Amino acid sequence: MRPLTELETKTFFEKLAKYIGRNITHLIDRGDETYCFRLHRDRVYYVSESVMRKATSVGRDQLISLGICFGKFTKTGKFRMHVTCLDYIAQYAKHKVWIKPNGEMPFLYGNHVVKAHIGRVTEDTPEHQGVIVYSMTDVPLGFGVTARSTSDTRKMEPTAIVVFHQADIGEYLRQEDTLF
């Protein structure tokens, strides 16, 4: 466990900003408690200072996880967001997509979101913007990247992909072995 280097922080924030933009400020500077990002085994954890301080007693080999995992750095140095951070990014997301009940299961099986399944979309969502995918009952299901801007989407046919799948909560089951 260690703090992120400057380069790592930059890579991480760049990815995170795709979804929550400047709202990262709220993660860094919280009103309630001091939180920090810590890197452990290539994974970035978002954890309160008190928990982090206690977790330093745990050996490096024995520490499995602390706080909430935001994602991991790949071997090539890129950052990959995990579905585990959904709670936080859903809280601060700027752009959202709601999908109909018939689109829930396909998305939870790792498929892209097609136009036919879209229930609602945040207005003025640009192209290639990170969006949070919600069910119609406002349960966050995952996140993805828009294929087209909202205005372009209107002209598309129902089977066209609107949101590219990035992560979904089905990964808790599908990728339990690799995710953690």
Using CB under 8 A, list all residues that contact other proteins: 1-3, 5-6, 9-10, 13-14, 17, 21-25, 28-29, 34, 36-38, 47-59, 61-69, 84, 87, 94, 104-105, 108, 123-124, 135, 137, 139-141, 169-170, 172-173, 176-177, 179-180
What's the min distance (Å) between Cβ of 53 and other proteins? 6
Sheet holding 79-81, edge to edge: 35-40, 43-48, 68-73, 79-81
Q: Which is nearer to other proteins, 21 or 160 (CB)?
A: 21
Taking CA atoms, 155 is separated from 62, 114, 131, 151, in Å, by 54, 13, 20, 8
d(CA 112, CA 147): 10
Minimal distance, residue 160 CB to other proteins, in Å:
24
The alpha carbon of residue 25 and the mean position of all alpha carbons in its chain are separated, in whole angstroms, by: 16
* Beta-bridge partners for 135: 99
Supply the DSSP symbol for 100: -
Cα separation, 81 vs 71, whole angstroms: 4
Give whichever of 69 and 113 is closer to other proteins, judged by the CB atom. 69
CB of 31 or CB of 157, closer to other proteins? 31
**Least Å from the CB of residue 105 to other proteins:** 8
Smaller CB distance to other proteins: residue 1 or 160? 1
- Which residue, 79, 121, 84, is CA-closest to 100? 121
Q: CB-wise, 13 or 119, nearer to other proteins?
A: 13
Q: From the CB of 42, what's the least distance to other proteins, in Å?
A: 14
CB of 22 to other proteins, least distance (A): 5
Short-list 42, 47, 86, CA closest to 68: 47
